Amino acid sequence: MTTFVKVITEFVLMVVAVSLILLSLLQSGKSDGISSAFSGSGGLNLFANVKERGAEKFISRSTLVLGIAFFVLVIVVQII
C-alpha cells in the first residue's frame, strides 16, 4: 500500500514540476533587461509598482501555488 502511495505521490510531484517549469517560462519579463542597466538607457526603476492584470495575474498566482505545492510534495515524498 505504501509503495502505491509513494508512486502516486512521485507522479504528482513530476506533473507539478513540469507545470511549474512551463508556467515560469510563460511569465513575461518584468525588467528592461541587463543591457539597459549598464548602458543607462531608460530609468533604472527597481522598485516600480507594476500591477498584474488578467492572464499575467493568473499565471503569477498559479506559479506561486504550484511552487508551494512542489515544496510540500518534496517533503511528503521524503517522509514516505
Whether residue 6 has pLDDT greater than 90: no
| Residue 39 covered by a domain | no
| Residue 10 covered by a domain | yes
| Residue 73 covered by a domain | yes
In total, how many domains does the chain have? 1
**DSSP code of 57?**
H
Average pLDDT in the chain:
79
End-to-end CA distance of the chain: 11
Q: Determine if the pTM surpasses 0.85.
A: no
Boundaries of domain holding 74:
1-25+53-80
16 burial type by CB count under 10 A (0-12 exposed, 13-18 middle, 19+ buried): buried
Q: Per-residue pLDDT tens for 17-40? A: 999 999 988 887 665 555 555 555
